[in-house]
Amino acid sequence: MRFTKAAALILSLSIAGMSLAACSNEPEPVSSDINIISTQAQGKNTGALPHGVVDPNAESENFVFKYKGCNLVVNTVVDESKFPDDDYVDFETTSCASPELTRRYEFKNGTFWMELYPGSESIYTIVICNDIVSTAEGIYIGCTADQVREAYGEPAQSTDALLLYEKGSSELRFSLNTNGEVDQIFYVGKY
C-alpha cells in the first residue's frame, strides 16, 4: 500500500514536471532529468495555435504512430472509439502554446500522451515517454542516434541533443541525452 502511494506520487510529480518543462520557450532541449522539447512551433508562428488543423493527406503523408492497432497521426481528427477503453485518461488542460484549454490524452500510465489543438478535435502532438512503445519503424527510448539514422536516414536538422525529421505536415523529433541515446520522441503537427 505504501509503495503504491509512493509510486502514484512519483508518477504525478513526473507528469507535472514534464508539463511545466514543455512550456519552455527554449528552441533546444535543456539538459536535465526530464528532457522536453517545447511543443510550440518555433519560428513558424508567434501567436497561439490555430484551431482545428486537419490535413486531408495526413494519413498517407505524415509520420504514423501505431498503438494497439490504432493509427495516431498529427493533424487528423482523434477517434476515441479506436482506443482501448481502460488504457487512457483524458482531461482538459491549458496549453503552453495558447491560453485556451486543450484536450490531453495520457495512455498506459504515462507511457505516452497526446494533445489536441486548442478548441478542436485534431491531434497536435504525440509524446513517447518510455521504452514500452516504439515508433512504427521500431525506434524506442534508449535507442542510439545511429539506430535512428538507420531507420529514418539523415535528419532535416540535427544537434547533439536533437534529430528532427519532416514528412508531410508533421515532424518527428528524437530528443537525445548526453550519451547520444533517445530519451523522448515527439510527433508534432506543422501548420
- 75-to-25, 135, 143 alpha-carbon distances in Å: 22, 17, 27
141 vs 8, more confident? 141
Torsion-angle region of residue 165: left (phi > 0), alpha (psi -120 to 50) or beta?
beta
- At 71 the three-state DSSP class reads strand
Across the chain, what does the average pLDDT equal?
77
Express each pLDDT in 54-67 by its tens digit: 999 999 999 999 98
Q: 4: pLDDT confidence band, cut at 50, 70 and 90?
A: very low
Average pLDDT over residues 40-61: 64
DSSP secondary structure code for residue 28 in this structure: S
- Give the pLDDT score at 35: 35
| pLDDT of 12 above 80 | no
- 41-to-55, 98, 142, 154, 165 alpha-carbon distances in Å: 17, 11, 26, 22, 14
- 157-to-54, 73, 140, 142, 161 alpha-carbon distances in Å: 25, 21, 19, 20, 11
Residue 58 burial (10 A CB sphere; 0-12, 13-18, 19+): buried
71 vs 97, more confident? 71
- Give the pLDDT score at 97: 63
Express each pLDDT in 88-141 by its tens digit: 899 998 876 677 888 999 998 778 999 999 888 999 999 999 899 999 999 999
- Give the pLDDT score at 29: 38
| pLDDT of 155 above 50 | yes
| pLDDT of 161 above 70 | yes
H or E element, residue 176: strand 170-176
